[in-house]
Chains A and B, each alone.
Chain A
Amino acid sequence: MSILLSEDFTFIVQGITGREAVNLTRECLDYGSKVVGGVTPGRKGREVHGVPVFDTVEQAVDAVGFVPNGAVVTVPPAFTKDAVFEAIEAGIELIVIVTERIPRRDVAEMVELAGMRGARIIGPNCLGVIVPEVCKMGGIGGPARDAAKAYQPGPVGVMSRSGGMTTEISSSLTAAGLGVSTAVSIGGDAIIGSAYAELMPLFESDAQTEAIVIYTEPGGRMEAQLAEWVTDNQSRLPIVAFMAGRFMDDEEMKGMSFGHAGTIVEGKEDTATEKIARLEGAGIQVVERIDEIPDAVKGKLGVAA
């Protein structure tokens, strides 16, 4: 099994005629994902790697004859909110927002509407979701051949605030013979659709997943929220966390953000040191070296390193 995606999962790509979206569409098709349509206003009638393009999500739904399960949104920041609203109102239930630099008021509006309609948002500023050998939704892992190299099926669920590090970590789990159940690039912004704690219930009820690896950064309360969730729900899943950006704890770095918009140390709770303490307080193992992750997971699973 897996979370979010499955064998017969279908999705559309909004903004499909953009340069990055064209690449992403081909990568997903090559991987075996079912991309059933694309939307770019004014481009109805075109095709992108055989995928029909429509002016509206409604047209796409009518043409395919059912509401697709998901939408990948890769349109400029000023138009993202409208595109996401369009997908939600069409009844689409999983929306991956690739676009970065979206003001957080827009993100909050999208998340609020999604909540009212029972939809889930992943991102923004993310690379998407992948279930190895089953489905890839978004640019995660890159071309199908590269994605196959980094992502092999296994028992570990991966959640990461960095898209690139999702693949780096998954690749190391694959190389160690462990593999991945589902990997989610959750996004690097201050406000995102699905934080660690909000995806945990899905992993918790997924039979394939036996352990979780998270990649975390300074900034925000997402790690504290995860620590609270794990404690309150007595999670069955062992978690290994890697915290990047420890150097940002230095006094000189205060008020600056590195890497992602969400990494900014303003209060005490934002610092790497504070987050590590909170995660460890909830029984989550925090490794200092990126290459310690596979062995730490093996330790948790009782597999010989």
Chain B
Amino acid sequence: MRFYEFESRRIVERAGIPVTRYGFCTTSEEAREAAAEIGGPVVIKSQVLTGGRMKAGGVKFADSPGEAADHAAAILELEINGHVPRGVLVDPKAEVAQEYYAGVIWDGTAKRPMMLFSDLGGIDIEEVAESHPDHVGRGHLSSLLPISDFQAKQVIADTGVTGSELARATPILARLARMMRDCDMTLAEINPLARLEDGSFVALDAHMEMENEAMPRQKALLDELGIGPDDTREPYEPSEFERNVTAIDAADHRGVIQGRDHGFAGNLGLVIGAGGGSLTLTDAVRSQGGRPANYTEIGGNPSVSKACGLAKEVLRKDGVEKIAVMMSIVSNTRVDIVARGVIKACLELGKDPAETIAIFRIPGAWEEEGFRILERYGVEYCDRSVSMWEAAGRAVAKIQGPGHPAAAEVRDGEAAG
């Protein structure tokens, strides 16, 4: 879960890292008051969970509280990459002598957190790593042993930073590293970390992401920030289809179903599973010219009503003409139960299963029972001797009509077989 900048600032502050005296505001009037309290020139920043704020006009400078209020009013109305701002941050315009980067991320290969530091701050760290590799210091951390300041010192010193700057930056990076580990962050970045004219260091912007799986045990921190369990911060607003599938899944503990349709807009509904199988099948449909209407995952042996509910939601989607019911070989999920569920969905919506289900390809546990049911309703099915690729191709051929290349390939395959 990604935090807003104002939350990230608070997290950084809690960790004992100095920040400027900022104000989070949701109205232009609050922004005026915050600017008056800060005194002097301020910067007003849109609070959105997306990059490119500056370019989009989401960051503006003001010399007076009145100007701050005007900018805040404009920024609060400004959507950036489809995101409506949660508020604005009013920050003193700092007298910066130099900008640095301090970050801690996971290194999946080393399976350890890794500290990153650069004396070229304010820009994307990946860019710096490419253009000035000698200006990026790196150091891995243990997950079991305490984090010592010297580890941070080494990373910073590797970039050539020395003198009082090294002494002042060291505890900041070490504290960031401890916070990252303790608070289950997947990413903890301060960029820029600024050295002010008086030699002190402050975090001017921060970006934090917490691992979703760890949110229950980080409840105290989330409560403190006022983040409730419903505040999931998906990269986009869930659609009606997605909300309905989530509700069906939550209503019945048997099995797990998931559904997505963000970025999909085709005519072939997919009732597919499980994790890897769904990825494989979605690719197979698209590679053969099919247009999936959605993405789903079925797993953990769902009940008939759950499978039925999922299939109904897929069938109800705009533009869906047929569904393809496909999985890799199952050992836990029962073929007959999914078969019953999808047939029930067709019947309850007044559709003929034989016409509506383009293909049923789920081999594995209880397949004989499942295939008998499908046969009774005239639904085309296949076992493991038909690959996932071929099953997807048959579904595409059916929905695109006989003139489609995928249909020709299926015919060729049948002729050859």
Contacts and interface: CB of A to CB of B under 8 A. Distances in A.
Interface of A: 77-78, 101-105, 107-109, 111-113, 139, 141-143, 146-147, 150, 160-165, 167-168, 171-172, 175, 188, 190-191, 195, 215, 217, 220-222, 225, 242, 244-248, 250, 252-256, 258-261, 263, 267, 288-291
B395 to A, nearest CB: 15
B111 A191 contact: yes
Contact of A112 (B108, B111, B235, B387): B111
Contacts of B282: 245, 247
B142 A244 contact: no
B328 A175 contact: no
B349 to A, nearest CB: 27
30 contacts: A102-B213, A104-B211, A105-B184, A107-B111, A109-B143, A112-B111, A112-B112, A112-B142, A112-B143, A139-B331, A139-B332, A142-B331, A142-B364, A142-B365, A162-B275, A162-B277, A163-B276, A164-B330, A167-B331, A168-B277, A195-B109, A222-B108, A244-B279, A247-B283, A256-B260, A267-B126, A289-B387, A290-B284, A290-B387, A290-B388
A107 B113 CA distance: 12
B146 interface: no
A230 to B, nearest CB: 15
Interface in B260-276: 260, 262-263, 273-276
B286 A190 contact: no
B411 interface: no
B385 interface: yes
Contacts of B214: 103, 105
SS class of chain B's interface: helix, strand, loop or mixed? mixed
Interface string B14-45: 00000000000000000000000000000000
B390 A217 contact: no
Interface of B: 106, 108-109, 111-113, 126, 142-144, 181, 184, 186, 211, 213-214, 217, 235, 260, 262-263, 273-280, 282-284, 286-287, 295, 297, 327-332, 364-365, 384-385, 387-390
A191 B106 CA distance: 9
Contact of B279 (A78, A112, A263): A263
Contacts of A162: 274-277, 279, 328
B385 A175 contact: yes
Given A113-B144, A165-B280, A167-B331, A77 B213 contact: yes
Given A103-B184, A139-B331, A290 B213 contact: no
Q: Which of A103, A246, A248 has the most CB of B within 10 A?
A: A103
